[in-house]
Amino acid sequence: MDALCQLIESYISTGANPLTDDLALHGIQECAPVLVAAYEKPGRVELREPLAFAALLSGIALTNAGLGAVHGFAAPLGAHFPIPHGVICAALLPPVISTNFAALRAQQVDHPGLLRYAAIGKVIADDANLTPTQAIARLHSFTADLLRQLHIGQDANANNRRRHRQFLHRRLELRR
């Protein structure tokens, strides 16, 4: 999920360029179709190869293009709470996409940023004929569905809540 977020944010970044665009879209094309299968079938090592390649591409893309609001929030959240980086990124991705979409649309109904989100949606849907609105909707539903399919954010059971409280308590004690 971290790789997917990094690819999407690199492509949406104002620092993107034609090289990082190609790397990001190719990485998304590699990882999006196999993410759920790789999670559900951990024994199928061959499904991890496209994920590893996508992770490599995401690293090159983000180094040259930068990232966005998901990673802007992920750094401080990861520093203050014992939540894996990929979980934070996955959980923030759908609301950040919605917020960016609304902000871009408020600025200009055919804002170039919207077309970039749409390009990602077309890659994920593997359908170049989608309208921008359809493609963005596919991108949003894909990222939101991943949370449920990968069981992200659904493990807030008593043990985790206790672990988070203990972590925060230790941090607060360290500050005294």
- Residues lying near Zn ion in the complex (CB under 5 A) are found at 2
Q: Which is nearer to Zn ion, 2 or 30 (CB)?
A: 2
The distance of closest approach from Cβ of residue 163 to Zn ion in the complex, given in angstroms and rounded to an integer, is 22
Instruction: Judge contact between 51 and 6, C-beta under 8 A.
Output: no
The distance of closest approach from Cβ of residue 77 to Zn ion in the complex, given in angstroms and rounded to an integer, is 12
Q: Which is nearer to Zn ion, 78 or 113 (CB)?
A: 78
Distances (CA, A) of 135 to 40, 97, 123, 157, 163: 26, 13, 9, 35, 39
Residue with tokens 């004690």: 173
Instruction: Judge contact between 72 and 88, C-beta under 8 A.
Output: no
Q: Which is nearer to Zn ion, 8 or 135 (CB)?
A: 8
> Hey, is 152 helix, strand or coil?
coil
The distance of closest approach from Cβ of residue 34 to Zn ion in the complex, given in angstroms and rounded to an integer, is 19
Residue nearest to Zn ion (CB): 2
Across the chain, which distance is largest between two alpha carbons, in Å?
59
Instruction: Look up residue 157 and give its two tokens.
Output: 């059971």
Q: Which is nearer to Zn ion, 7 or 114 (CB)?
A: 7
Instruction: Look up residue 34 and give its two tokens.
Output: 């196999």
Distances (CA, A) of 31 to 38, 49, 64, 91: 10, 9, 20, 18
The distance of closest approach from Cβ of residue 78 to Zn ion in the complex, given in angstroms and rounded to an integer, is 9
The distance of closest approach from Cβ of residue 147 to Zn ion in the complex, given in angstroms and rounded to an integer, is 16
Q: Which is nearer to Zn ion, 61 or 114 (CB)?
A: 61
